[in-house]
Chains A and B, each alone.
Chain A
């Protein structure tokens, strides 16, 4: 890793973007998150990996309150997530999220998908919203598809639209929930390229993914979760070359084997 491709971006500083302390969550009797402590600095790029059912998706879904945690404290950008709707709104406006299954709105065109939130949440004039949308669609390299419907696009294109849709809200943090695992192999690269571009611009990112190549090149920190706990976290080089825990070793051997 070198600093050459990070020109504009601020270096991850001491400023804390997200702070989780002792976060617990249960589904009925099932303990999904067992006291998660995590601090994310502004500009930091974190990759979370772990076996399925380890609670990694639940963790990032708690960060924008798609799931409710039952104990502990989550503070995003100085706002604590409680049942206060105002706080939830404030957090969601500043946190973008990209889903495994894209979740584009099939009844709206690509452009309308992108302008919906700026118009209704940021109260932007339509023309301005469209201008911004086109800017981000260009950034994800599909401006020519703006007037098509999601159903007319390939999976990779849809996921890029989903990223552009989130960017239109100018988020301070981006959450990625397995953004490439529903894609055909030949489309994974086009989405990862967009994400790498974002990282280079200094976006704070938390990304649940099994793309270890992406983790190596982009992440500041790789977190391994298992059974609702953070088992191990380290910078990528150390994490991959010198895993400490047996569970990490086992997981890495499985995921890197094929």
Chain B
């Protein structure tokens, strides 16, 4: 075709395409169209918002953050009073979110791992029980589960006067769980520091053990030794400090408890609900991760004479973790996002505090923007970590 056309054209030129048929021109045109559409929609929405806000006399901007919040927050990790600003209140909410998310992640990981392994158990009862747990928990909305746990605590537990006392010093009532706190004593700070020292020590111990094994082949019971160090160092510090045993034990005074530290019913319900729900998903991830490691790997390692514990530590776990960690992180993210359901049972998390702020100030856009930004930042942080981790551990294949 091209040849026949060239025959008629003694001086061949690059064939001129009309702009409509040029794929690049089409691409540019189409993108300008899309961008224009989005911009137009944005402009339309923003004008409407500005008009509506002007009509309702609501000032835009974040200046309301400095105003006095004047609402109380049930529990807080930092000092807070209604006289503090909205920004301070939001910080309290954020810290409460982090508190329940971190604890929930730790507990859900432990519970999920146990249940995931239980589903693989050769014990028929254990495996079926774990499967039933997973099936039931996964198929019921987490919000319903939160309501259930909240009701169990709030309605089924007795009032403080008849509080359950399963272990001396621990009281369960519809006002939450009371546990003894350590009485004020400077030694506890030192014990805390000594735990940090012990952790660092264990790290060095592990390094030394590895170096020594590389050099001489001698093995060192590092797991047992680490546990020993982690227990012994704080214990010795505590003994050196005179072994104070004074506890701030909760006591019933009037209609409620005094002293001790408290876990509010809202926090407890949220923590239990999120932990149970997320653990069922983590269990499935752990199960499939372990199953994904070929049985031949274990056989080859046993044929080499390695022991079960060593096989698990050096062969199975490193491979299973590659499969388990990425989806587990996204479950961590889900748990953090689900912690926003706190608003339904009255735990003062970020969304709950921001919602109160919204209702008091009418700053809908700003409040929603704050909530979304915070969660987006957390999500982005976790995804960045995930990308790094995936690159770090990717198996080298050709």
Contact = CB atoms under 8 A, between A and B. Distances in A.
A126 B214 CA distance: 4
A195 B322 CA distance: 35
Nearest to B219: A123
A162 to B, nearest CB: 8
Interface in A141-176: 148-149, 151-153, 162, 165-166, 169
A125 B217 contact: yes
A238 interface: no
A251 interface: no
A152 B396 contact: yes
B304 A117 contact: yes
A42 interface: no
Interface residues of A, number: 37
A68 to B, nearest CB: 12
A216 interface: no
A66, A106, A119, A153: most-surrounded residue (chain B CB, <10 A): A106
B216 interface: yes
A149 B396 contact: yes
Contacts of A105: 297, 300-301, 315, 319
B185 interface: no
A99 B305 CA distance: 15
Contacts of A125: 213-217
Interface residues of B, number: 29
B217 A128 contact: yes
B302 interface: yes
Nearest to B295: A103
Given A92-B303, A107-B322, A116-B306, 14 more contacts: A96-B303, A97-B303, A99-B299, A99-B300, A99-B303, A107-B319, A117-B305, A120-B314, A121-B305, A122-B217, A123-B219, A125-B214, A148-B396, A162-B300
The 6 closest A-B pairs by CB, nearest first: A103-B300, A126-B214, A117-B304, A151-B397, A97-B303, A149-B396
Interface of B: 213-219, 294, 296-297, 299-307, 310, 314-315, 318-319, 322, 395-398
Interface of A: 64, 66, 89, 92-93, 95-97, 99, 101, 103-107, 116-117, 119-129, 148-149, 151-153, 162, 165-166, 169
15 contacts: A93-B305, A103-B294, A105-B297, A105-B319, A117-B301, A117-B306, A120-B314, A121-B304, A122-B217, A125-B213, A125-B215, A149-B397, A151-B397, A151-B398, A166-B304
